[in-house]
Amino acid sequence: MFDRIAPRYDLLNHVLSCNVDRTWWWRTARRFRHILARPEGKVLDICCGTGDMTGALLRRRPADGEPVVAADFSVEMLARARRKLAGRRVEVIEADALRLPFGDGSLDLITTAFGFRNLVNYSAGLVEFFRVLAPGGEVGILDFSEPVGIVGKVFRFYFRHLLPWLGSRISGDSGAYGYLPDSVERFPAPPVMLEMMRSAGFVEVSWTPYSFGIAGLWRGVKTR
């Protein structure tokens, strides 16, 4: 499915979010600037898609910094990421988020933007992230959530009815944009997700809502 929608993925993200997605990536990268600023820091952007989150991370990396690793399991998404990030300090690889090709305690930061929601097992993903992070390393999970109140009602109407119609018209793939609202609906609510992170071993866990809670950043630290 992700291979099929790759050619119009960037366009759809910007159109369907009214370009607010760019702000979300920027805010996420800024949150981890203390790690990104360290030249020796080992950084992974998993479920990187076409590389937009990776690009936001790279803008905060020093010129002599270790390359950011951008990984995804969609070959077509990665092909576009390679073109978009060409000439920058990045390593683009194919990888499964539940079986990361990294040693225990080898990374300082893991980010994932709108990809964690697609894992078949959230708890297993968190445990795998915890495994490859070094003590004191951090994880940042940027993804959708369902806001409450009036904003929540408007959001659900848009997400359930308008977004699938617009997405299928632009992409030509009705299945993918019917899948999106379903995946958001079954994604754990912020308090549940935070408890899952604690169970995986993370401390200092937090959730920062973006755009009235339409999206948000889950953050956790691996115990030292």
Place 42 in a pLDDT band, splitting at 50, 70 and 90. very high
d(Cα 124, Cα 81) in Å, to the nearest integer? 26
State the pLDDT at residue 18.
Answer: 67
| pLDDT exceeds 90 at position 30 | yes
Overall average pLDDT of the 29-46 stretch: 98
Give one word for 119, left, alpha or beta, with left for phi > 0 and alpha for psi -120 to 50. Answer: beta
In the prediction, which pLDDT does 213 show?
A: 87
pLDDT at 214: 87
Copy the structure tokens of residue 45: 């952007």
* Residue 100 pLDDT grade (very low, low, confident, very high; cuts 50, 70, 90): very high
Q: Enumerate the domain spans of the chain.
A: 18-145+189-222
Greater confidence (176 vs 215) lies with 215
Q: Specify the pLDDT at position 16.
A: 60
What mean pLDDT do residues 105-124 have?
96
pLDDT at 148: 77
Average per-residue pLDDT for the chain: 89
pLDDT, tens digit (0-9, with 9 covering 90-100), for 147-205:
778 877 787 777 777 777 776 776 676 666 666 777 788 899 999 999 999 999 999 99
Domain spanning 18-145+189-222: CATH 3.40.50.10700: no
Rounded Cα distance, 219 and 89, in Å: 25
Task: Name residues whose C-beta falls within 8 Å of residue 206's C-beta, 6 or more positions apart in sequence.
Answer: 194, 218, 219, 220
User: Where do the H-state alpha helices sit in the chain?
Assistant: 2-5, 9-16, 20-31, 33-36, 52-58, 75-84, 122-132, 149-157, 163-171, 174-186, 190-200
The pLDDT, as a whole number, for residue 135 is 98
Least reliable range by pLDDT among 19-23, 26-30, 67-71: 19-23
CA distance 176 to 164: 8
